[in-house]
Structure 1
Amino acid sequence: MNDVLGDGGILKEVVQSGEGPPVPENASVLIHYSGFLEYSDRPFETTTHFKYPQMMKLGRDVTLAGLELGLLTMRKGEFSRFLFQPQYAYGDMGCPPLIPAAAVILYEIQILDFLDSGQVDDFIAMSPEEQNDAPLSTLLEVVGTLRSFGNRFFNQSRYDNAKDRYKQASKLLVNRETPSDAETERIKTALLPLYLNLSFTELRLDRPHKALKYGNKALEMDSANTKALFRCEVLNPWRIVSSLIC
Structure 2
Amino acid sequence: GCTVKYSGYLGNWNKLFCSNGNSKYPRLMKLGKDITLWGLEIGLLSMTKGEAALFVLTPEYAYGQRGCPPSIPPNTTVLFKVEVLDFIDSEECDTFFELTCEQRDRLPLEKVLKVAATEREFGNYFFYKQRFKIAKDRYKRALSILGRSSSSKAEQSQINASKLLLFLNLSLTYLKLERADRALKYGELALEMDQGNAKALFRCGQACLYMREYSKSRDFLARAQCIQPFNRDINNELKKLA
Distance in 2, Cα, partners of 1:195 & 1:161: 16
Q: CA deviation at 1:240?
A: 4.6
| Percent identity between the two aligned chains | 46
Q: What whole-Å deviation, never above 9, does each CA across 1:93-149 have from its counterpart, x for those lacking one?
A: 322332222211111112222222121111112222221221111111111110111
- Contact 1:209-1:239 at 8 Å conserved across structures: no
Aligned counterpart in structure 2 of residue 210 of structure 1, from 144, 164, 182: 182
Go from structure 1 to structure 2 and tell me whether the alpha carbon gap of 1:85 and 1:230 turns closer, same or farther (over 3 Å shift).
same
Aligned length: 213
What TM-score comes out, normalization by structure 1 length?
0.81
Using CA pairs under 8 Å that are at least 6 residues apart, name the structure with larger relative contact order, 1 or 2. 1
Q: Which of 151, 167, 180 pairs up with 1:195?
A: 167
Aligned to 1:220: 192
**Per-residue deviation, 1:38:** 2.5
**Contact residue 25 and residue 129 of structure 2 kept, 8 A:** yes
Residue 175 of structure 2 contacts residue 207 of structure 2 at CA under 8 Å; is this kept in 1? no
Q: What does residue 59 of structure 2 align with?
A: 86
Pick aligned residue for 2:84 from 111, 114, 118? 111
Structure 1, unpaired ranges of 5+: 1-27, 242-246
Task: Provide, for residues 61-113 of structure 1, a one-character-per-residue CA deviation record: whole Å limited to 9, x for no partner.
Answer: 11212111222222232211110111211222322332222211111112222
Measure, in 2, the Cα distance between the counterparts of 1:73 and 1:231. Answer: 41
State the 1:42 CA deviation: 4.7
1:167 maps to a residue whose letter is K
1:58 equivalent in alignment to 2:52: no
CA RMSD of aligned residues (A): 1.7
Q: Distance in 1 between matches of 2:150 and 2:159?
A: 9
Task: Report the structure, 1 or 2, having the larger strand content.
Answer: 1
Looking at structure 2, the residues matched to 60 and 149 of structure 1 have their Cα atoms a distance apart, in angstroms, of: 17
- Alignment of 1:230 with 2:219, yes or no, is no
Supply the distance in 2 between the matched residues of 1:158 and 1:106 (Cα, whole angstroms). 32
* Aligned residue identity for 2:17: F
Residues of 2 paired with 1:123 and 1:99: CA distance? Answer: 38
Give me the whole-angstrom Cα distance separating, in 2, the residues matched to 1:64 and 1:131. Answer: 32
Greater helix fraction, Structure 1 or Structure 2: 2
Native 8 Å contact 1:150 1:163 kept in 2: yes
Match of 1:186 among 158, 169, 174: 158
SS at match of 2:32: coil
Cα distance in 1 for residues equivalent to 2:57 and 2:206:
56
Q: 128-137 or 194-203: which moved more?
A: 128-137
Where does structure 1 differ by over 4 angstroms across 4 or more consecutive aligned residues?
none
